[in-house]
Amino acid sequence: MTEAPPVEVRGLEKLYGELRAVDGVDLTVEHGDVYGYLGPNGAGKTTSLRMMLGLIRPSAGEVRLFGRDPTATVEALEGVAGFVEAPTFYPYLTGRRNLELLAAFDGHGAPGRIDAALDTVELTPRAGDRVGGYSHGMKQRLGIAAALLRDPHLLILDEPATGLDPAGMRDMRELIRRLADQGMTVLLSSHLLAEVEELCNRVAIVRSGRIVYEGEIAQLKRSAGTTYRLRTTDNERALAVCQAQPGLNAVRSDNGHISFAAEERVVAGLSEALVRAGALILALSPETATLEHLFFTLTEDAEPAVQPETVAVPHPVAAPELQA
Amino acid sequence: MNPGIGTVYRWELAKLRYQKRTYLGLGAAAIVPILFVVAIHFRHHDRHGGDFAFATYLTRSGLAVPLVIMLFGAVWMFPLITALVAGDIFASEDHNGTLKTILTRSLERQQIFAGKALAALSYAIAAILLDITVAVIAGSIQSGFHSLESLSGTIVSAPKALELVYASMAVYLMPIATVAAFGLLLSAITRNSAAAVVGTLMISLLFQLIGILPGLGGLQPYLLSTQFNAWQGFLRTPIDWSPIVRAAWVCAMYGVPALVAAFLVFLRRDVAGG
């Protein structure tokens, strides 16, 4: 594999007539990332992933996988595997026969990896059954097995846990974590924000075909600031102190509490000011924004759980030219 | 081993083994000659020949049976058998959603197209070969493995006639390949198996309709349906190559553009479903 990033996307657009399904997407997945690609239904996630895999030609922009263009040659998919939407197979062939077919299409030693791939996804006992009789979860796992045949360095998975029962979702999450721990770069599209928060180190959040945030989850949370809940002996006086205190944002009174967003160092000064004002602190607890809160803040127009002004939405930055 | 067209071809044939439509076409190809021979048997005492080539020889030599079947099979049977697989071979990938699965492996689209096109053609050849062979065997059992009178009135020995039967079949494969090209095109365009199979058959029937329309006689030599009779040049003494040569270029005139169009559609299409 080259030193080029596993995925580099610049100015990616896809138009269907008047509909702009993908609108100038820029993102970079670095080596070793478990990268979450988030967005509501119809935001253009799957279309973007299909363009990354060379299944759809972009209307504009470029995709590079390890520095190669997947729309020009299938050789760009060397070291890349995955699936978009549900993985699909020939229903009249057995699971093993499907993998044999795909391994033959892969070459490069893939047929020798069939047994190991089936073992990894725990499908060996059902490998001789026709795929037409598989459950949704089994097909998802067979999809992962089919990806592993390619001995990938980059795994692109579109909603891998969708439709699975809780145990299936847990197993899928553990499988992805195990693969990531082995050094595989993973680009993961998902609706399951808790799953993404648990698995991913970086995310791109897409809304109406456009990226509204790209970067580390930790950075996103930091930029959102921490929200605090405060209860004092005199909340009315405490509210006035908070509103006057520099560095406190989104101060409001709420069901016997005062909530505000602030950095930790500002909170130390606040406690001193409250004592001086005679409003003694009964409780002061930080509430870190979850990815779910931030996601809704970035993708919905309705009033979000986290105050919009506390979320640092990155300004569009001119993306560097792709290196072939 | 690195994958290539041969890999796709082998797996397409393997997949055909698991599909009912494969056996539907091959079954029809095998049963029709048998039914035909049974019908001859029951009409044996009638001694009344039809008004088509070789009809009068059906009870004299079993080798006339495959020739008569080629004559009638051109109307819809062989085009339909050909369309069963050619019309399905891309559309079924859309139906199963598997196009995205195979296009994200290590094969270029052109390799997948070539492998599939070869498999569709191979199926048509296998079906016709099976049909002709069953016709030769069943016809020989019914009417004997005897010499055959050519269209020029000369007598051709049985071994030579057998040779001519298979040579005729080879010529017959030219319009069949063109029908297969139409099937591939419709399969790639419609992404719907039933529409592609029926559409292919309709194209074949349309050529025959044009052939019988009054005032369009001048088009007759250039219609696809006419080329299904080109093999009769082998049954003349000496062999008449002109219909065979014309069949070659007329079939290419229809088939090559259809195949190129199918290739371009497959190569350039967005795989947004499945």
Q: What angle do CA B270, B272, B274 make, to 5 degrees?
A: 130
What is the percent of chain A with per-residue pLDDT over 90, rounded to a whole number?
49
Which pLDDT tens digit goes with each residue over A136-151? 889 999 999 999 999 9
Best mutation site among A101, A106, A129 for testing chain B: the one with the most B CBs within 10 Å? A101
Q: Is the CB of A133 inside 8 Å of chain B's CB atoms?
A: no
Considering only A254-268, A289-303, B124-138, which range has the smallest mean pLDDT?
A289-303
Residues of chain B found within 8 Å of residue A88, distances taken between Cβ atoms: 96-98, 100-101, 274
Which pLDDT belongs to residue B164? Answer: 95
**Is-cis flag, bond preceding B238, omega within 30?**
yes
> CA separation (Å) from B15 to A12, A64, A136, A207?
37, 34, 23, 41
Q: Is B7 on the interface with A (CB under 8 A)?
A: yes
Q: Do B274 and A91 touch (CB under 8 A)?
A: no
User: Helix (H, G, I), strand (E, B), or coil: what is residue A171?
Assistant: helix
Q: Topology of A7-221 in CATH?
A: Rossmann fold (3.40.50)
Mean pLDDT of B55-75: 88
One CATH from 3.30.70.100, 3.30.200.20, 3.40.50.12500, 3.40.50.300 for A226-288 = 3.30.70.100
A151: three-class secondary structure by DSSP? coil
pLDDT tens per residue across span A27-42: 999 999 999 999 888 8
Instruction: Say yes or no to pLDDT of A323 above 50.
Output: no
Mean pLDDT of chain A: 85
Domain hosting B215: range is 5-268
CB contact under 8 A, A50 and B272: yes
* B174 falls within a domain: yes
B236 phi/psi in degrees, rounded to 5: -115, 155
ipTM at complex level: 0.90
CB contact under 8 A, B106 and A47: no
Query: Model pTM?
Result: 0.85
- What's the number of domains chain B is made of? 1
**Would B273 be classed as within a structural domain?**
no
Q: Do A86 and B97 touch (CB under 8 A)?
A: yes
Average pLDDT of the segment spanning B225-238: 93
Rounded to 5°, the CA angle A190-A29-B98 comes to 55
Report the residue from B15, B97, B108 with minimal CB separation from A88.
Answer: B97
Q: Considering only the beta carbons, identify the residue of A56, A77, A104 that sits closest to B272.
A: A56
Domain-wise residue ranges, chain A: 7-221, 226-288
Q: How far apart are CA B208 and CA B124, in angstroms?
A: 20
Whether residue B107 and residue A87 make contact (CB cut-off 8 A), yes or no, is no
Q: Among A111-120, A179-188, A291-300, whose mean pLDDT is lowest?
A: A291-300
